[in-house]
Amino acid sequence: MAGISGKSIIVTGGAGFIGSNLVERLCKENKVMVIDTLMTGSEENLKEAKRTGNVTFRKDDSRNIGKQGFKADLVFHLGMYSASPMYREKPTRVAEVVEGMIDVLEYARANGSQVVFASTSSIYNGVTPPHREDVVPKATDYYTEGRVGAERMAELYAKLYKVNTAAMRFFSVYGYHEEAKNGYANLVTQFLWAMKKGEQPVAYGDGTQRRDFTFVTDVVDAMLKAVGVKGYDVFNVGTGRNYSLNEMADKINKALGTKIKVRYVKMPVANYVMETLADTGKAERVLGFKAKVSLDEGIRKLVDERK
């Protein structure tokens, strides 16, 4: 974590899955304020981080970032609705995401802060893989439009006000601290939870859809490496390798020593993302980031954690 020491940092969504893993890393050498509504997060995720005495928690919306009385050198903005079903339930959440992004950027503009924020590989829905950062996104679903809007606003603030911002397009992240997400947890984690109980995991269609599964510690590494980016830029955060849900289930069976079959159900949504695969060249070249944890290793980490 070279260059990130002795800083004041805000992490929106910091009690959530990815955010709490990031806070655990940051709080060892920095003062961190966590802002989280706890919609899919939990203060329990911050238990270890709080023991450092460097973490302050505020139950609030990221749109109120400017009301916390905290001046931050860095803002990691993860406090956005993080799953497509959330937007289908309430399409106006797209507007909330864009509004929250603007509030974060206004805060950064006023305080001279850099922003690193969560975008998504879902932006590439309908685009032939491997997915590169320079593609033009297609209109596919509400979730995608929220993140496209956030990226556009970040680019605008970089051009108008010199706010340094990095958009991180996460590819199917799984790992520690997903419990509070419940049904919104990553498919690796949902499959593992079911199979540990001897239950069949559920897959849409025939399970041949493919994902670039990325372990959360690698995602944290990528975000930290994005600190110091000048202007506006966007980076894929993936492994550059993907697997079908059937292959993923086979790997979990191997790790658990089980032989549980996947249960297939009818595809319930239009424009479902059938394949994600990150082109990792830009992140490797510009940030020096390369994912370290393979899918087999990530599954083993989660199996060992829950023994």
Question: Helices 187-196 and 245-256 sit at what angle, rounded to 10 degrees?
Answer: 40
Burial class (CB in 10 A: 0-12, 13-18, 19+), 286: middle
Helix (H, G, I), strand (E, B) or coil at 73: coil
Question: At residue 1, does pLDDT exceed 60?
Answer: no
Question: At residue 93, does pLDDT exceed 90?
Answer: yes
Confidence band for 134, pLDDT divided at 50, 70 and 90: very high
285 phi and psi angles, rounded to 5 deg: -70, -45
In this predicted structure, what is the pLDDT of residue 305? Answer: 84
- Report the Cα 128 to chain-centroid distance in Å: 22
270 phi and psi angles, rounded to 5 deg: -80, 160
pLDDT tens per residue, range 284-297: 999 999 999 999 99
Question: At residue 75, does pLDDT exceed 50?
Answer: yes
Query: Looking at residues 267-287, what average pLDDT do you find?
Result: 93
Give the start-to-end residue ranges of the domains of the chain: 8-174+214-238+279-291
Confidence band for 261, pLDDT divided at 50, 70 and 90: very high
Helices in 133-243 by DSSP H: which ranges? 142-161, 187-196, 216-225
In this predicted structure, what is the pLDDT of residue 59? Answer: 98
Beta bridge partners of residue 234, listed in sequence order? 167
Confidence band for 209, pLDDT divided at 50, 70 and 90: very high
pLDDT tens per residue, range 10-27: 999 999 999 999 999 999
User: Nearest 10 degrees: CA dihedral of 203, 204, 205, 207?
Assistant: -30
In this predicted structure, what is the pLDDT of residue 307? Answer: 56
Q: How far apart are CA 29 and CA 226, in angstroms?
A: 18
What is the CATH architecture of 8-174+214-238+279-291? Answer: 3-Layer(aba) Sandwich (3.40)
**What string of H, E and C letters represents the secondary structure of 75-108?**
EEECCCCCCHHHHHHCCCHHHHHHHHHHHHHHHH
State the chain's mean pLDDT as an integer.
Answer: 96
pLDDT tens per residue, range 138-160: 999 999 999 999 999 999 999 99
Say how many residues make up the chain: 307
Q: Is the dihedral of CA 140, 142, 146, 152 positive or negative?
A: positive
In this predicted structure, what is the pLDDT of residue 102? Answer: 98
Q: How far apart are CA 168 and CA 222, in angstroms?
A: 8
Q: Is the dihedral of CA 86, 87, 91, 95 positive or negative?
A: positive
- Quick check: 32 and 9 in contact, CB under 8 A? yes
